[in-house]
Chains A and B, each alone.
Chain A
Amino acid sequence: MSPSLAIYRGLKRAGIDFAASVPCVNLQELLTLLGEDPDIIHLPATREEEGVGLCAGAWMGGRRPALLMQNSGLGNCINALASLDMLYGIPLLIIISHRGGKGEPIVGQVPMGRLTVPLLQTLDIPYQAPASGEGEEAVVASWEEAQKKRRPAAVLLDLDYWRRA
């Protein structure tokens, strides 16, 4: 199974039916799958923070939301994660393409690549970083945690995840 399809299957098993996204090259196949799924409302957002707001509103309307983004966008949405989702107790599944690690060819990705896990830890956002082959289960478990704790939960998909199908 392709790395993208594994995440998509996890989203379907979790019952995700609303997605907001800001693209990453590693998410392109997954975003196409979401866009073609008639049971998922998929909104491309202009900025990650906007996606947090869209997903919060969708959850209030009874949907199960996921936000898909590159880790560079984590910094763009911290205030909304904290003073919207965490303040009110709104669950959110965040699927993050984690750039800037080992093998990253673009130097600009490295600073946020290093800061991603420390930022999630500081925010007390639980995260999973599945190896290839574990993506589907990680997505299901992450949504369950988000729903149970009524807060955001993240799945980090690094360069190795996408490399090894």
Chain B
Amino acid sequence: MKRIEAIALAAESAQGQNALLISNIGFPSRELYSICDRPENFYMLGSMGMASSIGLGLALAKPKRRVMVLDGDGSVLMNLGTLATIALHGPKNFLLVILDNCCYGSTGSQPTCTCYCTDLAAVARGAGIREVENVDDIEGLAQVLEGQGVVVAKVETGNAIVPIIDLGPEQIIERFTRSALSAEPS
């Protein structure tokens, strides 16, 4: 599956679940913005590696609200300790989706270790996370987006041709926090 297809499905699912969606820096955020922009999307413009941590802090702060994170293999490798913290503290309203394209897709597709030998789902299990799913197609992904824990979704290398995000950081966070702090979903 192409990454943008996985993102489109996750975005649709997030919308259906009224979930807050944290999206990783670079092309994943651009692809999400081009397909399904919502105030409930937080587009990361910096701080590579922090998506899962932002999502975990948010999910703990808002235990009644679904929080989904779209992360990448390179970014998770940059903050591997996050998997141990999620194992111990990850609440049931939190789902980390790692879109594993085996490379640093926004910087020229240099391969990551997942291209050769590293199995992020096994790392997540080894960190102590009980709910870990591997998927490699759209049908498989569709089945696990309402769960908790970690999903490792294998996606093809390559970026869609999408424009850069024309929202400033102030706009992104103001509308996001307004959505996050609005009335709890029923």
Report which A residues bind B (CB closer than 8 A).
Answer: 18, 20, 41, 43-47, 49-63, 65, 79-80, 82-84, 87-90
Contacts and interface: CB of A to CB of B under 8 A. Distances in A.
Nearest to B46: A83
Given A88-B172, A89-B173, A61 B50 contact: no
B85 A50 contact: yes
Interface in B48-62: 48-62
A45 B46 contact: no
Number of contact residues on B: which range applies?
A: 35 or more
A90 B172 CA distance: 12
Nearest to A65: B57
Nearest to A51: B53
Interface in B148-169: 169
Contacts of B27: none
Given A45-B81, A46-B85, A88-B173, A57 B53 contact: yes
Interface string B52-77: 11111111111001000000000000
A87 B81 contact: no
B177 interface: yes
Of B45, B57, B84, most buried by chain A (CB within 10 Å of CB) is B57
Given A45-B81, A46-B85, A54 B56 contact: yes
A87 B50 contact: no
B33 interface: no
Given A50-B53, A79-B47, A41 B181 contact: no
Contact of A63 (B48, B50, B61): B61
Contacts of A50: 50, 53, 79, 81-82, 85
Contact of B45 (A52, A83, A89): A83
A43 B45 contact: no
B61 A57 contact: yes
Contacts of B89: 43
A99 B57 CA distance: 28
B8 interface: no
B169 A89 contact: yes
Contacts of B44: 84
Contacts of B84: 46
Interface string B114-158: 000000000000000000000000000000000000000000000
Contacts of B55: 57
A52 B50 CA distance: 8
A46 B82 CA distance: 7
Contact of B58 (A47, A51, A57): A57
Contact of B46 (A18, A47, A84): A84
Nearest to A61: B61
Contacts of B57: 18, 20, 43, 53-61, 63, 65
Contact of A53 (B54, B59, B65): B54
List the 10 closest pairs (A to B, CB-CB), nearest first.
A83-B46, A53-B53, A61-B61, A46-B81, A57-B57, A53-B50, A57-B58, A84-B47, A54-B57, A57-B54
